[in-house]
Amino acid sequence: MKKSFHFLLSVIIIIGITACGNSDEQWVEEHGYGPITDKLELSEIDSDLALQGKQIFDSYCAACHALNSQISGPALRRVVDKRTPEFVINYTLNPRENSENHPIGQELSEQYSAMMFDTGIDKEEAIAIYEYMRYYNEHRADPEE
């Protein structure tokens, strides 16, 4: 009896989780605040796009970030494993709201005395930077020119 009750309870919980799967709150928890509000389709890593991403990264992000080491901002290679692509891109495009209101951003803000500001890049550029992170994470090296 007890066992079947537990089974029933877990079924109800699973149904509950599935039913709430698309709620805004759960989306934000997993993917952050920002303009990306739908799942991105990722294809094979594109090395040309990764190279463009590296150039954008060098201009807009490298003052505070490296992929492999922590400088005034966190090392970014592992975000590919730790976070969803949508989270990384939302954070890139909308750092203030995420560092102020998202639990992950709040924790990072406590750890880092620097503060990320809006770099003004657009969605395509942020996606290219993410491709560079994916490339680097896979090859442990920069894309070749």
CB of 1 to ligand HEC, least distance (A): 46
Residues 24, 110, 57, 59, CA torsion sign: positive
Q: How far is CA 42 from CA 30, 49, 84, 119, in A?
A: 17, 13, 11, 24
Whose Cβ is closer to ligand HEC: residue 20's or residue 58's?
Answer: 58
Whose Cβ is closer to ligand HEC: residue 28's or residue 79's?
Answer: 79
Would you tell me which residues interact with ligand HEC (CB under 6 A)?
Answer: 60-61, 63-65, 72-74, 76, 79, 83, 88, 91-92, 95, 99, 104-105, 108-109, 112, 114-117, 119, 121, 129
C-alpha span between 62 and 7 (Å, rounded): 51
C-alpha span between 88 and 1 (Å, rounded): 46
Whose Cβ is closer to ligand HEC: residue 12's or residue 114's?
Answer: 114
